[in-house]
Chains A and B, each alone.
Chain A
Amino acid sequence: MASAGKSYCISFQNIQAALSTVKPFVKKTPVMTCSHLNRLANRNLFFKCENLQKTGSFKFRGACNAVSKVVASNQDGPDRELSVVTHSSGNHAQAVSLAAQVQGVTAHIVMPSNSPAVKKEAVKSYGGLIVECEPTEQSRVDTADQVAEKTGATMVHPNQSPEVMAGQGTMVFEILEQVERVDAIVVPVGGGGMLSGISVAAKELCPHAKIYAAEPKNADDCAVSMARGERTPLPAPPVTMCDALKTSIGPRTWPIIRDHVDDVITVTEEEIKAAMRLVWERMKLVIEPSSAVGVAAVMTDKFRKLPANAHQNVVVILCGGNVDLEHLPWMSQN
């Protein structure tokens, strides 16, 4: 579906290079199956368990690739302390912290002052240095810029950085070693970093595989953008249990998504909650709500109606498992 001659901010070669770069650091996560879920979905489902990745989400791949680039581009430079900065309170923050720590780089993590304690603790445990900001988008961006200026740290954007996008795409190489014939890949979408990386890699490695984005209905900027043919960010911060999917797709990820993704499947909060419980109870895997979006998507009527013969083997990305055990979705009052 990609138009010839169009250039995106990442290429297949970038992802191939990223694979060698991140291999020493990342886990080749297992692909798991569950006969009960297969029966429910009436497909062969293959779950790529990125919840078992280091730091508990796929974000570690992109973070490793981005940090490696900082190290590589300073190889012949003066011997100085290298650092990176990012603004995130979630999985990307933890990923960048550890990716930096294992490569001897300092990580400055800009986090809103009201971030949950468990997230602050996680970042600290991976060696990240927390810089607090006000809980507004503007403050996050401004504070990160200030840190970059003061320390010379390189900014690592959670989903618009090409190195991050390429890093996320490396999981496709593993998937193809682990699953015999991939008919479709279902990918949760927030900012689109993973979806873009996977799309570009899959286009080259398994061009016949369909790519589906899975999104919360309450944060459906990707679905709306695809329907309108033009990037349409969310007008206001969304209300969804999927912390990690609240960002809208960005200017770099949009063109790739527009040209590679076959369709977007949106799911309700109830469907997400049910899918999360299903995976916890049946597969004994702790996945966060954002991961459950892909599982919920394959259980929808929309997905079921897709032609069976072309959608028999479906890979679902379980993107992360960092949950706050004190605030599980089925415990809240809604």
Chain B
Amino acid sequence: MDANNSVTLKTVQKAADTLSGHVITTQVQTDETLDSLSGRRLFFKCENLQKSGSFKFRGAYNAVSRLVSSNGRTPHQLQVVASSTGNYACALAMVAKVHGVTAHAVMPNNSPECKKRTVLSHGANLTLCEPAAQDITRTVKQVQNATGAVFISGADHPDVIAGHGTMGLELLRQVPNLDAVVMPVGTGGMLAGVSVAIKSTCPEIRVYGAEPEVANGAAMSLNRGERFTFSRFPQSIADGLNVNIGAVPWTYIRSNVGDIFTVSEDEIKNAMRLVWERMQFVVEPSGAVGVAAVLSDSFKARAVGCRNVAVVLSGGNVDPDKLSEILQM
């Protein structure tokens, strides 16, 4: 862990070295139909094609890798624990397995079944709990006490945030004349990390977040100038975003992020359908929130002068059986 726990361009660059050869440098795709719908040139960063099916693999890999190299014990003596609605747990399970480390995932019991199955398929231990902040915290503590596992927060751990930030470095190389980057916000780890990478290198590039209206914690925080948290977790169809923005990500979001756009449940479904039908990519509801944002009226009104916009397709872990249920408008 970096000595002063902060996320800087340097820690993101170090993360990129750590991830090199282990994480996919995902492709950037374009689509003419979506360009004309948005009135911009869109560049889709395909993190749905990342290992474990979402960008979470980046942060998880960086954190576990650094833990293993800095910790005195051999990997098989190490245990890690984290709480997650799904994708971070899947990533951590996969990363832990690769390193020979035991993983424990604490997941709300209403997490998608396919994500619970994936966590188990990688050999991690799964504990379910009520979908409430106190239950999650308590359950994580129980696991820590019982196993001595190291807690690696998916939201607040600087190594996780720096790992996610490597996407920003890739985008700077992959997209010429980049004007703005848009990505979904849940706990804010991706937005924080990518904003550090982008703003430290090219401060004129705008960094935007995208959120469901019903899970608009980050937007509320940005508007108020202080971190806002829900007492009860929101219930958006974008299951990965039914969380509160983390304290550590908030410090970076507050300084680096220009705006956060919120979208309705129908806009999310519409965007998801567009990606499936027009781009032939599997994207989960959370993964399509950035797309919904760039197509929204508020983006058209407020994101003035952004011609070349990168949009992160953050994940593709969705159950094909649930598809028609999810897409019902």
Q: Give the interface of A toward B (CB within 8 A).
A: 30, 32, 51-52, 54, 56, 118, 125, 277, 280-281, 283-287, 321-323, 325-326, 328, 330-331
Bound complex: CA A328 to CA B320 (Å) = 9
User: Which residue, B273, B279, B280, has most C-beta atoms of chain A within 10 A?
Assistant: B280
The residues of B that contact A277 with a CB separation of less than 8 Å are 320
Chain B interface bracket (under 10, 10 to 19, 20 to 34, 35 or more): 20 to 34
- In the assembly, what is the distance between CA of A179 and CA of B283, in Å? 27
B323 touches A284 (CB 8 A): no
Residues of A close to B321: CB separation below 8 A:
330-331
Tell whether, in the assembled complex, residue B33 and residue A328 are in contact, meaning their CB atoms are under 8 Å apart.
no
7 additional A-B residue pairs with CB within 8 Å, beyond A325-B327, A330-B321: A52-B29, A54-B32, A118-B277, A284-B48, A284-B316, A322-B277, A328-B324
Assuming the contacts A325-B324, A328-B323, asked whether A284 and B279 have C-beta atoms less than 8 A apart, the reply is no
Contact between chains at B320 and A330 (CB < 8 Å): yes
**When the two chains form their complex, are residues A125 and B33 in contact, meaning their CB atoms are under 8 A apart?**
yes
Given A52-B280, A56-B280, answer yes or no on A326-B324 (Cβ-Cβ < 8 Å): yes
Assembly CA distance A321 to B277 (angstroms): 8
Chain A residues whose C-beta falls within 8 Å of the C-beta of B279 in the assembled complex: 52
Q: How far is the CB of B51 from chain A (nearest CB, A)?
A: 9
Is A284 a contact of B282 with CB atoms below 8 Å? yes
* Listed A/B pairs (24) with beta-carbon separation below 8 Å: A51-B280, A52-B279, A125-B33, A280-B320, A281-B114, A281-B320, A284-B48, A284-B281, A284-B282, A284-B283, A285-B280, A285-B282, A286-B276, A286-B280, A286-B281, A286-B282, A321-B280, A323-B277, A325-B277, A325-B323, A325-B327, A328-B324, A330-B320, A330-B321
What residues of chain B lie closer than 8 Å to A52, measured between beta carbons?
29, 279-280
Minimal Cβ-Cβ distance residue in B for A281: B320
Interface: B49 (CB within 8 A): yes
CB of B200 within 8 A of chain A?
Answer: no
B314 to chain A, nearest CB (A): 12
Q: Does B53 contact A (CB under 8 A)?
A: yes
How far apart are the CA atoms of A32 and B24 in the complex, in Å? 12
Q: Which residue of A56, A125, A281, A323 has the most chain B CB atoms within 10 A of its CB atom?
A: A281
Closest to A282 in B: B53
Determine whether the beta carbon of B281 is less than 8 Å from that of A285: yes
Residues of chain A within 8 A of B114, CB atoms compared: 281
- Residues of chain B within 8 A of A285, CB atoms compared: 280-282
| Bound-state Cα–Cα, A287 to B320, Å | 12
Bound-state CA distance A51–B323 (Å) is 19
Provide the B306-328 mask, 1 if CB < 8 A to any CB of A, else 0: 00000000001000110110010
Residue of chain B at shortest CB distance from A331:
B324
How distant is the Cα of A326 from the Cα of B316 in the complex, in angstroms? 19
Contact A30 B27 (CB under 8 A): yes
Q: Measured between alpha carbons, how far is A56 from B280 in the docked complex, in Å?
A: 7
Residues on A with beta carbons closer than 8 Å to the beta carbon of B48? 284
Q: Which of B248-299 contact A (CB under 8 A)?
A: 273, 276-283
Q: Which of B44-74 contact A (CB under 8 A)?
A: 48-49, 53
A11–B98 CA distance with the chains assembled, in angstroms? 50
A residues less than 8 Å from B324 (CB atoms): 325-326, 328, 331
Nearest B residue (CB) for A277: B320
State whether A325 and B276 are in contact (beta carbons under 8 Å apart), knowing that A281-B320, A330-B320 are contacts in the complex: yes
Out of A51, A54, A118, A284, name the residue touching B53 (CB < 8 Å): A284
Give A101 to B252 CA distance when docked, in angstroms. Answer: 47
A116 to nearest B CB, angstroms? 13
Residues of B within 8 A of A326 (CB): 324
B36 vs chain A, min Cβ distance (A): 10
Q: Which of B104-148 contact A (CB under 8 A)?
A: 114
Cα separation A328 to B29 with both chains bound (whole Å): 25
Expressed in whole angstroms, the minimum distance between the Cβ of B170 and any Cβ of chain A is: 16
Q: Write out the residue numbers on chain A whose beta carbons fall within 8 Å of the beta carbon of B49.
A: 32, 283-284
Nearest-neighbor residue (CB-CB) of B315 within chain A: A284
A139 to B218, CA, bound (A): 58
Top 7 A-B residue pairs of the complex, sorted by shortest distance between their CB atoms: A321-B280, A284-B316, A284-B282, A286-B280, A51-B280, A284-B48, A280-B320
Q: Which residues of B contact A32 (CB under 8 A)?
A: 49
